[in-house]
A and B are shown apart, each in its own frame.
Chain A
Amino acid sequence: MTVRAVKQISIGRNGVGSFILQCKKMDFHYCDWAGSSKGMNGFIKSLLPKFAASHPQVEFSVSPRPSKHPVIIAQYINGREKAICVRNMEPYEVLKKAELLRDANGEKLRKVTKPVQSINESVRGVWSPYHGNGLRV
């Protein structure tokens, strides 16, 4: 006859209380010889030190991948990873791609049609046909 409890787990929402950057690791692969890596090599020499220093929450690794196009691979907290091939790009274009990967949340890309997504219940409530004065047809 007493009230009993149902087990539930609280739901976390990133950005409420604390924000955690979803990108946790970035791998930069380059080739010393190939021409498609020219921009990537310039990026690693000139822009990457500053980029890496300004993002201590991301683990960076730079490694050669001879005879292959240069690529940036980012790993995310949700377990997925995203890779962008940066062949024949200028250093600043590579930086743009690195920032794009940094800002992504790792989810598959999908079209967002609603301006707000929320797990809170509606403040206004659900419309009920049994309340109010009714509608005369």
Chain B
Amino acid sequence: MKRLRLDRWTGQLLLARPGASPASTPRAALRAAAAVPSRCAAVRSQSTGAAVPQIPREDVDDYYDGTDHTRFPPLEPLPPRATSLPSPPPERALQSAKLAALHARLSLPERLPLQTLARALVDASADENPQFNNTTLAFVGQSLINYHVAEWVMCRYPRLPMDIMYATMKGYAGASSLHHVARAWGVEHAAAPGGEVDPGLLQFSLHKPGDAIVGLGYRRAEADGMKKYKWRHGMSSRVVFDDDFGEVVDTEDAKDELRLRRDTEYGNEYTRALAEKAFATCARAVTGAIYAHAGRDAAKAFVQAHVLSRTLDLSKLFAFAKPTRELSMLCAREDFEPPVARLLSETGRMSRTPVFVVGIFSGKDKLGEAAGPSLEVARNKAAMNALKSWYLYSPGEGVRVPSDMLADDARPWEPAYIDIGEVVGR
């Protein structure tokens, strides 16, 4: 490839404005050359040709590119001041094809207007004004989603330890899950927020993260020390202080280093987290909008259809430290006979690939069973299986939740199964 030689470039090239020049299409260029001389045509200093007569500037439109406007009418003009606004004005929502398509794709109720849906797509980082961004809607939506997920998990799996309960909540209703939900709806994001952007695009900014609060939780005074010195924080304080997923409400100062690098890298952990948060906030805001316009039942059905219908294998959430000891404590607490591990079958003990099948028995009842390459591993796995089958007890698929009682024709409430608590507290 030949190198460009800047000194040989003529004035025409340097003067040409990309995009806005009259000669942006070949046909338009021909027409422009015949009729109207280019506004920015350079006249060479040594030129012998007659100077092209300049016609007055007033009667040539600045952006006119020779298009026949009777055949191809110009795009709809933006309302005045649209480009100076931080987010699209609400009246433009009715003109957006993307927004109408999103409304129909989610089968949203007719009562939910497009203006509200457009507002649900404006993140607090794009528009700080809470009357035009989705913060308030997202707060309602977050409360609703977390409430429905929590009541369902508690009634469906009453024996889950608190840590696993939090992980389950996060697996269903956490930011990364809801980010996937919003992506699966076909929500696209704008490159940068602004009043001229199509209202059907999600708008958030990576440069000034909004400080909108969309969840409950206290900001701990000792949060920095917890991060720096790894101070221990027990489950009880997590329940009281932290957010709905038992996570410390984070301070923005901790991400200064990543924030400094956000423009030099294509994307880093910080920008990814911001985008994820914006998509999750959008999903929550849509839920809140449904509650605001269509009511409680529609919002519950929406949460069930889009959040609770997802699949999460709870048996993969457990990480046991000392399963055998925990199982013997469980048996002592429940007045079972102490657990005994017995070898059920084995093969190839002296070979390179031995397999031992170990069962754990309490009296005559088998609590769990597993196969492993050594006796120790097989016994631990069997104990884990026994503990999992205890913790993952479920009254059944069609378990009733408290919000079912809000229906008018609800049957009388039968008390849900409540477990006495974790085997080993923390």
Measuring CB to CB, which residues of chain A are less than 8 angstroms from any residue of chain B? 1-14, 16-18, 20-21, 24-25, 56-61, 64, 77, 119-121, 128-131
Contact = CB atoms under 8 A, between A and B. Distances in A.
A61 B347 CA distance: 67
Contact of A64 (B72, B171, B181, B317): B72
B306 A57 contact: no
B399 interface: no
Contacts of A120: 311
- Range class of the B interface residue count: 35 or more
Contacts of B313: 8, 121
Nearest to A22: B186
B52 to A, nearest CB: 30
A10 B321 contact: no
Contacts, number: 130
A4 B177 CA distance: 20
B57 interface: no
A6 B167 contact: yes
Contacts of B304: 17
A120 B345 CA distance: 29
A103 to B, nearest CB: 15
Contact of A130 (B164, B319, B357): B357
A6 B321 CA distance: 12
B174 A5 contact: no
Given A3-B318, A130-B371, A9 B171 contact: yes
B318 A5 contact: yes
B255 interface: no
Contact of A17 (B172, B186, B305, B326): B305
Contacts of B347: 129-130
Contacts of A130: 344-345, 347, 355, 357, 371
B232 interface: no
Given A119-B311, A120-B311, 7 more contacts: A3-B326, A10-B310, A10-B311, A64-B72, A121-B313, A129-B347, A131-B357
Interface of B: 72, 97-98, 100-101, 103-107, 161, 163-164, 166-167, 170-172, 174, 176-177, 180-181, 183-186, 304-306, 308-313, 316-322, 325-326, 344-345, 347, 355, 357, 371, 387, 391, 422, 424-426
B164 A5 contact: yes
A8 B171 contact: yes
A24 B186 contact: yes
Contact of A5 (B163, B176, B344, B371): B163
Nearest to B319: A4
Contact of B167 (A7, A14, A57): A7
A79 to B, nearest CB: 9
Contacts of A64: 72
A11 B310 contact: yes
B306 A17 contact: yes
Contacts of B166: 5
Contact of A1 (B171, B184, B306, B326): B326
Contacts of B310: 10-13, 17
Given A14-B184, A58-B101, A59-B98, A3 B319 contact: yes
A49 to B, nearest CB: 15
Nearest to A13: B311
Contact of A8 (B161, B308, B317, B321): B317
B14 to A, nearest CB: 31
A8 B167 contact: yes
B101 A6 contact: no
B184 A7 contact: no
Contacts of B305: 17-18
Contacts of A11: 310-312
B325 A57 contact: no
B192 to A, nearest CB: 20
